[in-house]
Amino acid sequence: MNLLALFKPLLQQSFKTTGIYLLIIALTLAISATTALKFSNEQIQNAVALQAAEMLAADLVLTDNEHIPDVWQKKATQDGLAQSNVTLFSSMAHTADQFVMVNVKAVDANFPLRGELRTSPTLNRSIQAGEVWLSQRAMELLQVKLGDTVQIADASFRFTAQISHDSNQELGFGGFSPTVIIAQSEVARTNAIQVGSRIEYRLLLAGQVQQTKTYEKQFKQIVGHDADTTFDETQAQQQDSSQTSLKLRNASEGNSRLMKPIANLETFLQLANILTILLCGIAIALSSQRYVQQNQDAIALMRCVGATKQQILMAYLALLAVVFVISIVLGSVIGLGLGFVLLQLMLQLIPHLALEFSAWSMLIGPLPIAMLTSVIVLLGFVVPSLWQLLKTPPARIIRQHERSVRSMLWMLITGTLGLLIFCVILTENLQLTLWVVGAIIVLCLGLYALIWLGLKSLKGLRIKLSAYIRTPYQTAFQITALALGLSLITVLAVLRTDLLERWQQQLPEGTPNQFVYGLPPFELADFQQQLNLHGWKGTPMYPNIRGRLVAKNDLPFSETLLKTNNSLRRELNLTQAATFPKDNQIITGQTAFEKIGEVSVEVKTAQALGIQIGDQLTFSLPEGLLQAKVINLRSVEWESFSPNFFFIFSPQTMDENAGSYLGSFYVPEQDKGQLIQLIQQFSNTVFIDVSLILDEIKRIVAVLVQIISLLALLVSVSGILVLIACLNLLMDERKKEVALLRSFGNSKRKLKAMLSTEIGLIGFISGVVGCVFAEVISAIASYKMELIIQPHWEIWLILPMCMTLICALIGRYRLSYLCDIPPLESLRDINN
């Protein structure tokens, strides 16, 4: 018997059954869903990266306190990167009556490379020589109006516009307030930069993702003296990371407060990919097994007429190839359409995102991955079952012999392995994939065993409920599959809530929007009195003393640490306090200071420098050396808008009068006018307005919230389709039982009650098991996102009740049509 003689009738017979159509639907769903979601995720990540880049005004920024060597600009030109030069320094700005210390930002015509610089009145051009643009605070302090003359050091400028929006807002030296902008060519005319001046030179760079990654990699290789350096420039090779202040920052490093939300979004996107693959894998697995079961008679018949195992296997593989080609065509079209609709929907809901649809990008990127994933999963779930049937004698196949445990085990191993491999490929996160998939496998095996033993014991009791449990191993498998699909939908919903709570905690109402430092000790009491008078709440005022960490246990740090750790190459802000900041947590050691000469160390700094509790640290201060004993290690929330320190000393360890004070406080919008008076009263103190930074971060967080809400909804829709497929397959397996009971004279009412009770029971158990799945998977994801792991009691009430109701209704009405047709016709329809 040749292959064609087997394939043609097999093809005709297969397309007369429902099983192959369910398989095509499952494969189409897998291809279209993973393609659209992967493409959308890539677009979202790029768009959010651009949002973060706006706060840096570029994708990459080279900074130095000396002129940036020309070699780096040449390298950027070679790589095709757009460039802009910015110079930042402090200077005195004044009119005839007002004198204000300002932060001067000198920019060229290309600034900004990312984001916007908007002015009032609107000027659709770059700043010209002789002009100055002022921030609102600078304008209020100088008490000027448009057209007035403003003196900056030795140069006079005409005030032509107010800065209404500058996306380039950062904390640190570049974020000082008030701010003025002048043309880059005007820096020399001011004569403000002298020997000893504090100045920062910036080279802003922007380009395609691959271009910026290449430049960043080259920089790290050269400055870090990587042995594989290929950029052979003598001047660049002379840059020593231990002796130069030259640094390169990317968009996420430009503002640390954005790093955690964006990192959480990336993890959420990766988790959405994993859950989508698993949901589609469940649909493929169940549809595959249903298809194999429907073809048991056909396999037995072919064996009886003399077809070999190899011929039958090749015929079925050819049939699966036809199925796969059909699924590819449908999945590609639907995937392209879904991707387009998804991006258009996101553009409507989140207009701030710069999303771009590209059919070609989908065809050469996510689509091949989705196709390969689907075919591997399909073969992993189908071939073991087919091979087991081919090894079984025809007579036993015809008698509907139950599949062996070995067959099911091989099916699960091969199918799961395929899912695991392509979860890693799709997410590019091996650790998260192993954690989630590993936990699911362990849970599935453990809960399947418990459910099977429980159902088997319940059936052995011979009570009324036992009548609804006919095949414990099969029912346990159905419950586990149903619970897994249900839990995968639930995970994204609970994680969305957890992320919202975390971001709201990060930026609660009343978050300090003014940062003050350089407050002289003799003005501390008056300053605190003014804050209390206005009712402006804030953090404690911390003494700020500059010093260097020079030794541990009387031994200097190694040359390697001196070259690689920035904490050892610069002066640090040191403080002393009786209590720790509220958002600091003690990781190990004493919870409070007990005597003079003790120090608390930030845990990551301690790990990087090999500092342990009990070590004696030596610091170099202006008044001499200071030694202190490490009494604890603590975590620090660097994303908070409160003062934080690497090292906090016990009270009276340092002379507080040797430095100044710093802190932060909140000024309501309606009180901003009174803040000007405070700034003028304490003219020797630096005030930083972080409200603009807060507004930018809140805007980006709002975008992230909308993104995860939309993704959770889309994955939930896919999951619901999978649940419907699971329930339909579960119903199909009861067709024969309903038909047989109908032929024995059971009433329609009794059959409906039986189905409602049985399927409702399965739904209830699935809901409970789904809660266990959801809690474990969400706990893993929360751990990876550094969220608080907490139970979600609401799902324990909602899921079991909803699943019981849904399954009972489906069980009551889904098969009721069988009760209305003759039993003989119903029996003939079993495998169709």
Per-residue confidence band for 256, with pLDDT thresholds at 50, 70 and 90:
low
| Residue 516, in any domain of the structure | no
Is residue 176 a part of any domain in this protein?
Answer: yes
Residue 250: is its pLDDT beyond 70?
yes
Buried-state track 757-793, b at ≥16 Cβ within 10 A, e below 16: bbbbbbbbbbbbbbbebbbbbbbbbbebbebeeeebe
Tens digit of each residue's pLDDT (9 = 90 or more) over 688-722 = 777 766 676 676 667 667 766 666 666 666 666 66
Average pLDDT over residues 456-477: 72
Kindly state the average pLDDT of the residues 404-408: 54
Q: What is the pLDDT of residue 401?
A: 46
Residue of 333 and 830 predicted with greater confidence: 333
Q: Which of 75-84, 205-214, 382-391 has the lowest mean pLDDT?
A: 382-391
Mean pLDDT of the chain: 77
Look at residue 259 and tell me whether its pLDDT is greater than 70. no
- pLDDT in the model for residue 171: 43
Percentage of residues of the chain with pLDDT beyond 90: 16
Q: What is the spatial distance between Cα 503 and Cα 623, in angstroms, rounded to a whole number? A: 42
In a domain, 682, yes or no: no
Domain range spanning residue 168?
A: 56-254
Rama region for 786: left / alpha / beta (φ>0; ψ in -120 to 50; rest): left
| Residue 814, pLDDT score | 64
Helix H segments across 507-658? 524-534, 559-564, 603-609
Q: Is residue 45 over pLDDT 50?
A: yes
Residue 664, phi-psi category: left (phi > 0), alpha (psi -120 to 50), beta (remainder): beta
333: left (phi over 0), alpha (psi -120 to 50) or beta: alpha
pLDDT given for residue 218 in this prediction: 85
Is residue 158 scored above 90 in pLDDT? Answer: yes
Q: Which of 223, 254, 285 is the last residue of a domain?
A: 254
Strand ranges, E, within 495-595 = 514-519, 542-552, 555-556, 572-576, 585-589
Residue 170: pLDDT over 70: no
What DSSP line would sit under 682-700, residue for residue?
Answer: TTTSEEEE-HHHHHHHHHH
Q: Which two tokens stand for residue 789?
A: 């792991």
- pLDDT tens figures, 115-138: 888 898 988 889 999 999 998 888
Please tell me whether residues 234 and 279 are part of one structural domain. no
**Can you give the C-alpha Rg of the chain in angstroms?**
34
Same domain flag for 704 and 613: no
270 plus 312 within the same structural domain? yes
Is the pLDDT score of 658 beyond 70? yes
pLDDT at 514: 85
Q: What is the predicted pLDDT for the residue at 234?
A: 34
Do 559 and 497 share a structural domain? no
Q: What pLDDT sits at residue 237?
A: 37
Least confident of 13-22, 237-246, 809-818: 237-246
| pLDDT top residue among 166 and 697 | 166
Give yes or no: residues 125 and 170 share one domain: yes
Which among 123-132, 193-202, 423-432 has the top mean pLDDT? 123-132
The predicted-structure confidence for 468-512, as pLDDT tens digits, reads as follows 666 777 777 777 777 877 777 787 778 777 777 766 666 667 778
Q: pLDDT band for 808, please (50, 70, 90 cuts).
A: confident
Phi, psi of 748 (to 5 degrees): -60, -40
Q: What is the mean pLDDT of residues 171-187?
A: 73
Same domain, 119 and 136: yes
Check residue 650 and report its DSSP letter. P
Structure tokens at 150: 């403003």
Query: Is the residue at 683 inside a domain?
Result: no
**pLDDT per residue over 342-394, tens digit each?**
677 666 655 555 666 666 666 676 777 777 777 777 777 777 767 766 766 66
Q: What is the per-residue pLDDT for 407? A: 55
Say yes or no: 645 and 779 in one domain.
no
| pLDDT average, residue stretch 509-520 | 83
pLDDT band of residue 729 (cuts 50, 70, 90) is low
Residue 679: pLDDT band with limits 50, 70, 90 = confident
Q: What is the pLDDT at residue 784?
A: 75
Q: Final residue of a domain: which of 664, 682, 712?
A: 664
**Across residues 653-657, what is the average pLDDT?**
87
Q: Please check the confidence at residue 205 and state whether its pLDDT lies above 80.
A: yes
User: Which residues lie across from 555 on neighbouring strands?
Assistant: 552
What pLDDT sits at residue 355? Answer: 60
pTM for the model stands at 0.61
* pLDDT band at 799; cut points 50, 70, 90: confident
Confidence band for 186, pLDDT divided at 50, 70 and 90: very high
Beta bridge partners of 161: 133
Q: What is the pLDDT of residue 242?
A: 40
Question: Is 517 among the domain residues?
Answer: no
Q: Any idea which of 117-121, 573-577, 589-593, 735-739 has the lowest mean pLDDT?
A: 735-739
656 and 702 both lie in a single domain? no
The structural domain count of the chain equals 3
Report if residue 269 sits inside a domain.
Answer: yes
Q: What is the pLDDT of residue 618?
A: 94
**Is 129 found in the same domain as 37?**
no
Q: What is the pLDDT of residue 562?
A: 83
328 in a structural domain:
yes
Q: Which residue has the higher pLDDT, 168 or 607?
A: 607
Residue 597: pLDDT band (50, 70, 90) is: very high
DSSP-derived secondary structure letter, 614: T
- Predicted pLDDT at 815: 61
CA proximity to 354, closest of 51, 147, 584, 568: 51
Reading the block at residue 801, the tokens are 């009740």
User: Average of pLDDT values for 176-182?
Assistant: 80
Of 254, 275, 300, the residue at which a domain comes to its end is 254
Residue 445's pLDDT is: 82
Q: Residue 261 above 50 pLDDT?
A: yes
**Same domain (yes/no): 37, 76:** no
Q: What is the pLDDT of residues 528-555, one digit of tens each?
A: 999 999 989 888 899 999 899 999 999 9
pLDDT of residue 228: 35
The first and second tokens of residue 720, run together, are 């619901």
pLDDT at 598 over 90: yes
Q: What is the pLDDT of residue 262?
A: 64
What average pLDDT does range 444-471 have in this prediction? Answer: 76
Higher pLDDT, 233 or 367: 367
- Highest mean pLDDT: which range of 13-17, 354-358, 443-447, 501-505: 443-447
What is the percentage of the chain residues whose pLDDT exceeds 70? 71
How many helices (H) does the chain have, and how many strands (E)?
26, 21
CB 373 within 8 A of CB 72: no
Of the candidates 193, 173, 122, 180, the one whose C-alpha atom is nearest the C-alpha of residue 151 is 180
Find where tokens 């689509």 sit. Answer: 367
Residue 675 lies in a domain: no
- Domain match, 217 and 331 both: no
User: What Cα–Cα distance (Å) separates residue 3 from each residue in 9, 307, 389, 529?
Assistant: 11, 9, 19, 94
- Residue scoring higher pLDDT (330 or 703): 330
Residue 249 shares a structural domain with residue 266:
no
pLDDT value, residue 240:
42
DSSP letter at 597 equals T
Q: How far apart are CA 358 and CA 305, in angstroms?
A: 52
CA distance 153 to 194: 11
